[in-house]
Amino acid sequence: MPLGRTYGVALVGLTGHVIEVEADIGQTLPAFVLLGLPDASLHEAKDRIRSAAQNSGIPLSRRKITVNLIPATLPKRGSSFDLAIVTAALRAAGDIRSPGGTVFIAELGLDGRLRPVRGVLPAVMAAVQAGHREVVVAAANADEARLVPGAHVNSYRTLSEVALALGADPSTLVLPAESDSAATTAQLPAEGADQENPAEAPDMADVAGQPDARLALEVAAAGAHHLLLTGPPGAGKTMLAERLPGLLPSLDDSAAMEVTAVHSLGGTAAQRSSLVRRPPFESPHHTASAVSIIGGGSGIPRPGAASRAHRGVLFLDEAPEYQRGVLDALRQPLENGRLVIQRAAGTAAYPARFQLVLAANPCPCGQASGKGIDCTCTPLKRRQYFSRISGPLLDRVDIQLSVPRVSLAEFSSGHRSESTHAVAARVQRARNRQQQRLAGFGCTTNAEVSGRVLRNELTLDRSATKDLDLALERGTLTARGYDRVLRLAWTLSDLQDGKRPDRDDVGRALAFRQNVNAA
């Protein structure tokens, strides 16, 4: 009997590895041996595969079946190899013709149905990049798989349909009443697809008063800067943060593929029919663990909220209530936009270039900055409460703003402020200026510009940075803070269509940076 060979994909984080699946049928007593570092869930595939094949009318050989997953040194996990393994075994028995270089990605039910799996988008991307354009997936994963340009996707409902397409004897197969198999070549959806209805998104016009906070939000959106809002309860901190995603431009093709791949791996196995075009918004509860926010879990680490917020917003409301270790774990992705999670079972790397938005009360009772309301907290309690946000983390937050209570005049005036649409238009113009200026430096927003580029390529006159230099000399600003103020000044200049930041821009940026500390 010939050696059966098919292909699957093993995902380690978002990195996919094409796996060669070999099957051999020996002349000994019945057995099913699975080699190549499979985990416990993959070992269970042996029984699923036998039942699925039997119930589809193409039972596996009663002799010894040996399946090898190459490379044998790479750990494999999950149920996505089911279809590749059974196809290799059927080919070894001569029940189907050789599938060539086709990659099979699907889980099998005991009745032979193909079930969807997580991570289909990054898996198909890895297959196409490795030169395997023919891909077979479950019907429920078909639309998601077709999002990958260049992939020729075949989708089926059952194992018997797959076997029929590969030349099995139709007289023995148990076929469903109707076949909805499909084969298409993937085309990238037009940019702008899968966008939220602007009418349903939170509108900036709903925010009463708070002109400084509105400006801070606009600046943060324009330059992709991190933001801290402190103030008493009811001042509008959460309301403002929830409106930040609406100000951000839609994701381009490259960013949309990255974001959709993360959500494909970290979300459910449900069908996804289009790319994620709107920046995501993640708002975990303050009781969330480090694993749920950073990523991890048993086996190969899975993405957390920080990675799911990639190219979008990670909002931590009541920030001092989070565990300090959880907050400090965000320092690495804030610097390099990437999370590398190491566990005993393996190392996974996930993109995590998000905008961090923190909201905090000034003290445990929340009334330290309230008007006409006495704070019941001692000075020591206030310091201890806010000190849960460490200095090194605060040093990475570009804009730090105190949000006062809304006055009665602002609240009852009935005047509607600028809408999200109007502010987003200015943000888009500022982003366009940044993309043109930074095209040669490998970045697209001011927040991504390195300190070397700021000081050597985008230098400002000493007269413009006089106040900034003085703050650094006095020790009220760190070297990292110096660079972040410069980035903020460039964004303020871009919003005003300026050629370069002047002293006023740098001064305003420095005030945004030191607002909380001065309060």
As given in the structure block, the two tokens for residue 458 are 């985008």
d(CA 433, CA 427): 10
Amino acid present at 81: F
- How far apart are alpha carbons 261 and 68 in whole angstroms? 28
Residues 144, 163 contacting (CB under 8 angstroms): no
pLDDT tier at 190, thresholds 50, 70, 90: very low
The number of C-alpha atoms within 13 Å of 338 and in the hemisphere containing its C-beta is 6
CA distance 226 to 4: 54
Half-sphere CA count of 437, side-chain side, radius 13 A: 24
Query: CA-CA distance, 465 to 501, in Å (whole number)?
Result: 9
Examine the pLDDT at 203 and tell me if it is beyond 60. Answer: yes
Between vectors from CA 314 to CA 310 and to CA 319, what angle results, nearest 5°?
A: 155
Tokens coding 490? 């460039």
First-to-final CA distance of the chain:
80
According to DSSP, residue 253 is labeled H
Which segments of 199-284 does DSSP mark as H helices, in order?
Answer: 211-223, 237-242, 244-247, 253-266
Least confident of 29-43, 140-154, 337-351, 406-420: 406-420
Packing angle, helices 211-223 and 420-438, rounded to 10: 40
Global confidence as pTM: 0.87
With cut-offs at 50, 70 and 90, classify the pLDDT of residue 88.
Answer: very high
Strands 302-303 and 295-296: antiparallel
Where does 1-56 show beta strands of DSSP type E? 4-12, 15-25, 31-35
Dist. CA 60–CA 50, nearest whole Å: 6
Per-residue pLDDT tens for 289-321? 999 999 887 777 889 999 999 999 999 999 999
pLDDT for residue 517: 47
pLDDT of 261 reads: 92
Average pLDDT, the chain: 88
Cα dist from 153 to 53, 134, 183, 479, whole Å: 23, 6, 5, 51
For each of the domains in the chain, give its residue range(s) and CATH number, in order of start. 4-185 (3.30.230.10), 198-518 (3.40.50.300)
Pairing of strands 107-108, 114-115: antiparallel
Q: How confident is the model at residue 366 (pLDDT cuts 50, 70, 90)?
A: confident
Poorest-pLDDT segment among 23-32, 111-120, 261-270, 491-500: 261-270
How does pLDDT run across 228-277, given as a tens digit for each residue?
A: 999 888 888 999 999 999 999 999 999 999 999 999 987 654 567 789 99
Report, in angstroms and rounded to the nearest whole number, the Rg of the chain calculated over CA atoms: 28
The amino acid at residue 349 is A
Instruction: Answer whether 75's CB lies under 8 Å from 43's CB.
Output: no
